[in-house]
């Protein structure tokens, strides 16, 4: 998944006449909603699961749209356990008109016929798909049908503590070899106590990213079986093993053992880590007490650069009563440069609409530049209805055993492959 926000839950220009209309709408008078009688105004319901600051950010965009015209009124409705409620509404009535959507879910739920394709709207309004990240559109598609537009895009990059690197005479690494060497120099032990970790190895869920950096892919070419029990998968585990057990740049549980609410990176106990843009605002608020930088993920042994693209979109449920009006809202928010920029400045998210990224807000921020560069090569997770089950129930448990010294690299990959292939087969058809 997925957005640089204060916390994870708190935190796109249409072509031709459509873009011009959206731009004009964005500057419309704020009393637009009073021009039409309420009987003629279409009420659009927008469901999302962001509360707190996230809700305020959504409502800023809702208000901007409502004030831009006088025929549609959008209302944001915060939903807890949103997907369960949506699936219930999809079969019993009461679907919202617009749904905030974690994009990876598309290949799982589109086959259930609970989403409405938007291809006809995109064609009618002449939107240029090249204005959006191709991987994000791919993730919102199923069997050549597009089900939504990307609202946010994100990827992992390497955060580093500038002071710690300067004190150790280390420059930000650009390759695995440089990463390993830098981590060793940055690590500080006091007897058996780790005082400063050179690099965080706490997220085994990043195996996919490392595998791509090693030149591999999680699934085979036709997405029917796993593809990590090979030299590329072994290279990842060998790197982890060296850094954890030989170089000792990290200790399992180190970050969680520092106490509740304590961030190892903020307190200078962690020199480097992979993280997403959602943490930028959190780290920036510490000012000079945390002088940090961000670089693109180091390349693997053969120069392969990779990260995983996540993020959210806006979709129209199949049961929506106001599909045309829902589309107007989605288009306003995600397919217009000015509105996408307003969203970015409001929420500190990277929008899925690439023309907005040409603004100085992005180009003049040195910590955002590495993310923008990384997004150009970042890939989404494989589009298989059983992929998440395979990863959660086959790969990650075996990686956990490996990191804890209970399985060899060879047995880890073999067991994960055997169980993973079966889970992919069992979940190949969506029920």
Contact criterion met (CB below 8 Å) for 45 and 72 = no
pLDDT of 38: 52
Among 64, 84, 68, 96, smallest CA distance to 315 is for 96
Distance, in Å, from the CA atom of 33 to the CA atom of 72, rounded to the nearest integer, reads 8
Q: Where are the beta strands (DSSP E) in 5-71?
A: 42-48
Distance, in Å, from the CA atom of 141 to the CA atom of 108, rounded to the nearest integer, reads 11
Torsion 272-139-390-4 (CA) sign:
positive
Say whether both 55 and 136 belong to one domain: yes
Whether 219 is in a domain gets the answer: yes
**pLDDT exceeds cutoff 70 at 428:** yes
Distance, in Å, from the CA atom of 72 to the CA atom of 9, rounded to the nearest integer, reads 27
Task: Calculate the CA 310 to chain-centre distance.
Answer: 3
Contact criterion met (CB below 8 Å) for 97 and 317 = yes
pLDDT of 431: 66
Say whether both 226 and 354 belong to one domain: no
Say whether both 286 and 223 belong to one domain: yes
Whether 179 is in a domain gets the answer: yes
pLDDT of 39: 62
**Total count of domains within the chain:** 2
Whether 5 is in a domain gets the answer: no
Distance, in Å, from the CA atom of 100 to the CA atom of 16, rounded to the nearest integer, reads 27
**pLDDT exceeds cutoff 50 at 3:** no
Whether 136 is in a domain gets the answer: yes
Say whether both 394 and 351 belong to one domain: no
Say whether both 232 and 283 belong to one domain: yes
DSSP secondary structure code for residue 133 in this structure? -
Mean pLDDT across the chain: 90
Distance, in Å, from the CA atom of 282 to the CA atom of 271, rounded to the nearest integer, reads 17
3-17, 83-97, 177-191: least confidently modelled range: 3-17
| b/e burial code for range 152-180 (CB count within 10 A of at least 16 → b) | bbbbbbbbbbeebbeebebebbbebeebb
Question: How confident is the model over 247-257, as pLDDT tens digits?
Answer: 999 999 999 86
Say whether both 60 and 184 belong to one domain: no
Distance, in Å, from the CA atom of 346 to the CA atom of 56, rounded to the nearest integer, reads 9
CA atoms within 13 A on the CB side of 384: 24
Q: How confident is the model at residue 422 (pLDDT cuts 50, 70, 90)?
A: very high
Residue at a domain's end among 355, 375, 395: 375
Whether 302 is in a domain gets the answer: yes
Whether 7 is in a domain gets the answer: no
Q: How confident is the model at residue 183 (pLDDT cuts 50, 70, 90)?
A: very high
Say whether both 337 and 254 belong to one domain: no
- CA torsion 362-363-364-367 (nearest 10°) is 60
Question: How confident is the model over 215-253, as pLDDT tens digits?
Answer: 999 999 999 999 999 999 999 999 999 999 999 999 999
Average pLDDT over residues 36-50: 84
Distance, in Å, from the CA atom of 313 to the CA atom of 131, rounded to the nearest integer, reads 15
Whether 431 is in a domain gets the answer: no
Say whether both 275 and 319 belong to one domain: no
Say whether both 397 and 411 belong to one domain: yes
Whether 331 is in a domain gets the answer: yes
Say whether both 138 and 191 belong to one domain: no
pLDDT of 259: 53
% of the chain with per-residue pLDDT over 90:
83
Please name the residue ranges forming H helices in 149-206: 162-167, 176-186
- What element of type H or E holds 390? helix 387-390
Q: For the chain, what is the largest distance between any 2 Cα atoms, rounded to a whole number of angstroms?
A: 75
Q: Is 395 exposed, middle or buried (0-12, 13-18, 19+ CB in 10 A)?
A: buried
Q: How confident is the model at residue 127 (pLDDT cuts 50, 70, 90)?
A: very high
- CATH number, domain containing residue 267: 3.40.190.10
Range of the domain at 164: 157-307+384-426
**pLDDT exceeds cutoff 70 at 101:** yes
Q: Would strands 157-161 and 272-275 be described as parallel, antiparallel, or unpaired? A: antiparallel
Say whether both 314 and 292 belong to one domain: no
Say whether both 188 and 260 belong to one domain: yes
Distance, in Å, from the CA atom of 348 to the CA atom of 72, rounded to the nearest integer, reads 27
Question: How confident is the model over 343-390, as pLDDT tens digits?
Answer: 999 998 999 999 999 999 999 999 999 999 999 989 999 999 899 999
Contact criterion met (CB below 8 Å) for 335 and 149 = yes
**pLDDT exceeds cutoff 90 at 189:** yes
Output 391 or 287, whichever has higher pLDDT: 391
145: which strand partners? 142
Q: How confident is the model at residue 323 (pLDDT cuts 50, 70, 90)?
A: very high
Question: In sequence order, which residues have a C-beta less than 8 Å from that of residue 234 and are 6 or more positions away?
Answer: 409, 410, 413
pLDDT of 7: 35
């Amino acid at each position: 998944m997925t957005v640089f926000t204060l916390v994870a839950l708190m935190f796109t220009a249409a072509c031709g006449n459509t873009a011009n209309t959206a731009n004009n709408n964005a500057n419309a008078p704020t009393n637009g909603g009073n021009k039409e009688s309420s009987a003629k105004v279409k009420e659009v319901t927008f469901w999302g699961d962001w509360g707190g600051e996230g809700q305020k950010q959504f409502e800023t965009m809702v208000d901007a749209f409502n004030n831009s015209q006088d025929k549609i009124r959008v209302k944001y409705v915060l939903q807890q356990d949103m997907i369960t409620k949506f699936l219930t509404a999809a079969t019993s009535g009461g679907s919202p008109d617009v749904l905030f959507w974690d994009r990876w879910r598309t290949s799982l739920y589109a086959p259930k016929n609970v989403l409405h394709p938007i291809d006809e709207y995109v064609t009618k309004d002449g939107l240029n798909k090249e204005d959006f990240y191709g991987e994000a559109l791919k993730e919102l598609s199923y069997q050549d049908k597009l089900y939504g537009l990307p609202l946010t895009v994100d990827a992992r990059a390497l955060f580093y503590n500038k002071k710690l690197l300067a004190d150790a005479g280390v420059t930000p690494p650009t390759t695995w070899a440089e990463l390993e060497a830098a981590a060793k120099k940055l690590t500080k032990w006091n007897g058996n106590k780790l005082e400063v970790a050179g690099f965080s190895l706490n997220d085994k869920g990043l195996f996919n990213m490392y595998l791509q950096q090693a030149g591999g892919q999680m699934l085979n070419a036709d997405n029917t079986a796993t593809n990590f029990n090979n030299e590329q998968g072994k290279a990842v585990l060998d790197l982890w093993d060296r850094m954890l057990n030989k170089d000792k740049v990290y200790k399992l549980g180190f970050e969680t053992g520092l106490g509740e609410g304590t961030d190892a990176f903020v307190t200078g106990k962690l020199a480097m880590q992979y993280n997403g843009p959602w943490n930028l605002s959190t780290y920036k608020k510490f000012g000079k007490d945390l002088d940090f930088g961000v670089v693109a993920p180091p390349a693997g042994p053969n120069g392969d650069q990779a990260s995983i693209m996540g993020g959210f979109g806006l979709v129209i449920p199949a049961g929506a009563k106001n599909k045309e009006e829902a589309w107007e809202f989605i288009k306003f928010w995600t397919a217009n440069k000015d509105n996408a920029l307003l969203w970015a400045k409001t929420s500190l998210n990277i929008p899925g609409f690439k023309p907005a990224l040409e603004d100085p807000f992005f180009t003049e921020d040195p910590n955002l530049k590495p993310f923008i560069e990384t997004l150009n090569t970042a890939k989404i997770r494989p589009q298989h209805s059983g992929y998440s089950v395979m990863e959660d129930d086959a790969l990650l448990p075996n990686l956990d055993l490996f990191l804890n010294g209970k399985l060899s690299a060879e047995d880890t990959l073999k067991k994960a492959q055997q169980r993973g292939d079966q889970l992919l087969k069992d979940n190949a058809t969506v029920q």
